Amino acid sequence: MNTKLDKADTPNYLKAVRLINIEEGKCDFETGRIPIRQHINTNYFFAQTDISLEHSIHPAPRRQYVITLKGKLKFTVSNGTNFIIEPGIILIAADTSGEGHTWEILDGNEWERLYLPLEDDVEDYFIAD
C-alpha cells in the first residue's frame, strides 16, 4: 500500500493517482494531486456500475478521470505494486496501451463511478508527489 496519498490532503488539492505506461508495455502509477476549482476540459461523462473487468488485466480504453462514488478498490500494476482507490481519491487512467492494470473490490460488491474522458491533447492537471 502507498502512504504518499496523505501528502495531497490539503484544502487546495484533491488526492489523485495516475496510471501510466512505462517501458515494454508495462503499467505503473504515480501518486499526487490535482488542484481544486480547476476546469477540466471534457465534453461528456458517463456513469458505470459494471464490475465485469474485476481481476482482468486491461489497459484504459482512453485517457480519463475516474471518480469513485461508492466502493473501495485495490489496483495492481505490472510489477505487483498496488494502491487503494475510494471516494475522495481521483484516478487518472492514462495507461492506454500495453498490458494495463487489474483491480478488485475490497468492500462489498459494488463500484459506482463516473468517467470524464480526456482528449489526447488536453492537460490532466496532475501534480506528482
Closest listed residue to residue 28, CA positions, set 67, 65, 2, 53:
2
Architecture of domain 4-128: Sandwich (2.60)
* Terminal CA-CA length for the chain: 16
Give residue 2's pLDDT: 47
| List of long-range contacts for 32-37, beta carbons under 8 Å, 24+ apart | 32/8, 32/126, 32/127, 32/128, 32/129, 33/7, 33/8, 33/126, 33/127, 33/129, 34/90, 34/92, 34/124, 34/125, 34/126, 34/127, 35/125, 35/127, 36/11, 36/12
pLDDT confidence bin for 9, thresholds 50/70/90: low
User: Is pLDDT of 7 > 90?
Assistant: no
- What's the whole-model pTM score? 0.89
Closest listed residue to residue 79, CA positions, set 106, 63, 102, 59:
102
What percent of the chain is modeled with pLDDT above 90? Answer: 79
Helices marked H in 31-112 — which ranges?
none
Over the stretch 14-27, which tens digit does the pLDDT of each residue have? Answer: 999 999 999 999 99
Give residue 76's pLDDT: 98
Q: Which residues pair with 82 in a beta bridge?
A: 76
Contact in structure between 106 and 51 (CB atoms under 8 Å): no
Mean pLDDT of 37-56: 90
Task: Report the alpha-carbon distance of residue 79 to residue 23 in Å, rounded.
Answer: 12
User: Is pLDDT of 8 > 70?
Assistant: no
Over the stretch 78-125, which tens digit does the pLDDT of each residue have? Answer: 999 999 999 999 999 999 999 999 999 998 899 999 999 998 889 999
Mean pLDDT of 57-61: 96
